[in-house]
A and B are shown apart, each in its own frame.
Chain A
């Protein structure tokens, strides 16, 4: 029996818990392919960290607390060239500024999440988890608690990324070159399968090309991390402007 306001509140709370658990599970399950793709990248990073002189536990710790693959690769490269710590920190900041754009894009879907969790969940925003979560949020706008979905995605992604890093630092050099070459394509493959369903019209195709070409040109001619940031921001503004134009009759 659950008559009365108190009973209804208990039922609503129970339903909320069930929904939250369901989203957590969905986030974990839908991120399994991403997790598989992260293993080889983690192996590669771990091996690079090992060759740069980092111990396996330090490499794993770095992957856990920074949790931002591209900037970690760049940082290891800088360590290899003997760059000063402020230069590494500044490069990391610029490289990861795109996460601010990702956060801005995800945040409107998280309005029903508990406020106290947001700072912690901010750490979960990385390329892969962002992709899986925004895809889920746009496909299922009616489902509550997208924060739980992001958390589930983070659990799988972080476990495979950190695990891959440690494994790579301990034994990364044993992967044959041909296999490593194929596994190196796993990350682009993941994002190709994410982007394909989004290219539905002329504007989305223009945004894709502007961001892609801009990133490649930016990586070639601008300091590390600046190109992707400018390209993503510029292409998004361009897309917004194109969608805002009055339609001709």
Chain B
């Protein structure tokens, strides 16, 4: 597992860091990777908690996510307020609704 994981991290790392300036289109594609990667983690974490898809109103993580987005906007993306607000909201909702 460690070896194959390392393989996924290594080749492009070595190639791109020493390669000449990439084609402008490739550069624009690479610029989008952070947004796409963050979105992939957020959407699956919120809508598929524990691995099963939960596209329903009883999914409490959806409401915790909305609160986290609001706090992240208010605090300009600072991590600690957003994590605290999101986690506390999830705990509170679980205490109130229990699902």
Contact with B along A132-168 (1 / 0, CB 8 A): 0011001000000000000000000000000000000
Residue pair B76, A197 in contact (C-beta under 8 Å): yes
What CA separation (Å) do A244 and B11 show in the bound complex?
27
Partner of B5 from A68, A130, A131, A186 at Cβ < 8 Å: A68
Contacts of B46 in A (CB 8 A): 188
Residue pair B38, A195 in contact (C-beta under 8 Å): yes
A115-B18, A119-B10, A219-B53 are contacts. A179–B91 as well, Cβ < 8 Å?
A: yes
Within 8 A of B (CB), among A171-209: 178-179, 181-199, 204, 207-209
Residue pair B33, A113 in contact (C-beta under 8 Å): no
Within 8 A of B (CB), among A108-126: 108, 110-111, 113, 115, 118-119, 121-123, 125
Judged by DSSP, the binding face of B is helix
Within 8 A of A (CB), among B4-36: 4-18, 22, 24-26, 28-36
Within 8 Å of chain B (Cβ to Cβ): is A7?
no
Residue pair A219, B5 in contact (C-beta under 8 Å): no
Residue pair B28, A122 in contact (C-beta under 8 Å): no
Judged by DSSP, the binding face of A is helix
| Chain A positions near chain B (C-beta within 8 angstroms) | 33-34, 36-37, 62, 65-68, 71-72, 75, 77, 88-89, 92-93, 96-108, 110-111, 113, 115, 118-119, 121-123, 125, 127, 130-131, 134-135, 138, 178-179, 181-199, 204, 207-216, 219-220, 228, 231-233, 235-241, 243-244
What CA separation (Å) do A204 and B28 show in the bound complex?
12
Count contacts on B: residues with CB < 8 A to the other chain: 72
What CA separation (Å) do A17 and B50 show in the bound complex?
44
Residue pair B86, A104 in contact (C-beta under 8 Å): no
**Smallest Cβ-Cβ distance to B71: which chain A residue:** A193
Residue pair A36, B83 in contact (C-beta under 8 Å): yes
Residue pair A100, B17 in contact (C-beta under 8 Å): no
Residue pair A196, B9 in contact (C-beta under 8 Å): no
What CA separation (Å) do A89 and B91 show in the bound complex?
36
Residue pair A66, B5 in contact (C-beta under 8 Å): yes
For this complex, 23 residue pairs linking A to B, each with C-beta atoms less than 8 Å apart, are A36-B83, A72-B1, A93-B5, A96-B4, A104-B12, A107-B12, A118-B14, A135-B34, A190-B83, A192-B42, A193-B72, A209-B39, A211-B36, A211-B40, A212-B42, A219-B44, A219-B48, A219-B51, A220-B48, A231-B36, A235-B32, A235-B35, A243-B32
Partner of B17 from A113, A191, A194 at Cβ < 8 Å: A113
Residue pair A134, B76 in contact (C-beta under 8 Å): no
How many whole Å from B68's CB to the nearest CB in chain A? 5
A37-B83, A111-B17, A119-B14 are contacts. A195–B39 as well, Cβ < 8 Å?
A: yes
